[in-house]
Amino acid sequence: MSLRRHLAWMAVSQAWFFLIQFIASAVLARFISPYEMGIYAVAMAVTGLLSIMQATGLIGFIVREPSLTDHLLTSTFTINAMISIIVAILIVCGGVFAGWALHEVGVRRVMFVVSVLPLIGMFEFLPAANLEREANFKAIASIGGCRILIVQGISVGLAISGLSYMGIAYGQVAGALFSAVAYSIVGRRFLNLRPSLVEWRRVTGFGFQMLTISGANAIGGRIGDLLLGRVIGLTALGLYGRAASLNNLIQDNIYMVIVRVLFVDIAQRVRDGKSLRESYLATIEILTAILWPAFAGLAIVSGPFINVVYGGRWVGAAPPLFMLAIASTVHVMVSLSWQLFVVRHEVARQTRLECMRTGVGIAVFGIGCLFGLTAAAATRIIEALFTVAIYRPHIGRMTDTRTRDFLPIYQRSGLLTLCTVAPVTIIMTVHGWSSSTSLIQIMAAIIGGGVLWLVGILYLDHPLAAEIRRVGQHFGSRVTSEDF
């Protein structure tokens, strides 16, 4: 199956994820208050800190390795299972302590429920990892699509019935159970529950390095949530969490689709001894052309969007959403950084960079919390700029690129972004950037911006133009064949 088809499968599945998540979040916002969402966010922040041990990137290890032996696979499964059991115990113990320390019984209840997630996940580990290595994204997309429907369906149903944020926790467990069963069936030839530690040194060596990287990233985010909840309050944390989840809808449903598929591709290129220069430049051109307009547009319409979809009590999430979207725009400039360090076997170097980035991120975010919710979110832009500064030289070295190679790309993508957001920017300016701006006018401006984006893609003869023409020819040929 071609790279284009892999991307198509993941794109369709993520569009489904986006639709379901968006609808569910809009419904949940009507039944869960910002304060209640803050309780859930605190519980997940503590859970995330206690779950850092799982951030070993062992799926990436299986995808990357040139050859896989039975001993290597069983050792990887055993180590992952041991970590999962330890994490589950830590979450239960942490729930008791967090509920007492925060004087909020809801935190303890959420953590008790989600403590089973690591135990469920360890059974799908080997099938999921091997299916990804084989680039079987059709199966991965199908399972993921069903899982998100189960998670959000149960979450919404239970929230409506009066369980509030606990419904979200129960929905996560139901989705995890389905996913474990589905992967075990589809990838049954990879299912191996036999314990072994023959290759433990090799596995733990990689896992420890990835744990430092992913753990630093997780620590930065979770400590930031706890700081925000402690300094400003749970309501502010609920608003920030809503803003972050909306921003992540674009991050997870567009960026991660492309990156997840390309990781398999660049791993194969490195194994074959090929240069990553052209493929990386093409990737950045496509990502910036899509994500810059998406994030910029989200930032501009954040107020009316939240007001219409989630209601007036959530409008306070608009300013932090604006800041987070701008920060994500900056982050796109160093896309695929994690994947590059992994395939180039330079994880130790990235560990040092992530520790620097996390330290700076926590420091500036903590300072921002002293000045309010919007200021705290704005510090994510500072963190993003710092990330670009420390990662850019290493990305250039690993991909045989220079800064000047990206300047024409940034110019074209910047022009596309300006054209795309111009109509909605005019509408918002005319209405004084009010959150009550007419939805009909905003939708018309968004459609107009989309048309301008498409015209710009074709006029600039952007790499995406060839894909658009190919899709058009494909559907045109199908229509012609059906007519005759």
The Cβ of residue 201 has, within 10 Å, a number of other Cβ atoms equal to: 10
Q: What's the rounded mean pLDDT across residues 196-200?
A: 85
* pLDDT exceeds 70 at position 481: no
174: burial class by Cβ within 10 Å (0-12, 13-18, 19+)?
middle
The string of pLDDT tens digits covering residues 417-434 is 999 999 999 999 999 999
Give the pLDDT confidence of 377-430 residue by residue, as tens digits: 999 999 999 999 999 999 999 999 998 999 999 999 999 999 999 999 999 999
d(CA 81, CA 47): 18
Confidence of residue 248 (pLDDT cuts 50, 70, 90): confident
Residue 59 buriedness (CB in 10 A; 0-12 / 13-18 / 19+): middle
How far apart CA 421 and CA 452 sit, in angstroms, is 9
Q: Worst-scoring range by mean pLDDT, 50-54, 120-124, 146-150?
A: 50-54
Cα separation, 365 vs 214, in Å, equals: 19
Q: How confident is the model at residue 275 (pLDDT cuts 50, 70, 90)?
A: confident
Find the helix or strand (DSSP H, E) in which 271 lies.
helix 256-271
Which carries the bigger pLDDT value, residue 78 or residue 251?
78
**Percentage of the residues of the chain whose pLDDT score is greater than 70:** 87
**Measured distance CA(460)–CA(241) in Å, rounded:** 38
Q: Which two tokens stand for residue 156?
A: 């919404």
Q: What is the CA radius of gyration of the chain?
A: 23
Compute the distance between CA of residue 93 and CA of residue 115 in angstroms, rounded to an integer.
10
pLDDT over 90 percentage in the chain: 39
* pLDDT of amino acid 467: 67
Judged by phi (left if over 0) then psi (alpha if -120 to 50, else beta), residue 57 lies in left
101-124: per-residue pLDDT in tens? 777 788 899 999 999 999 999 999
Residues 6+ apart with CB under 8 A from 326: 295, 296, 299, 381
Task: Give the Cα separation of 420 and 438 in Å (integer).
Answer: 19
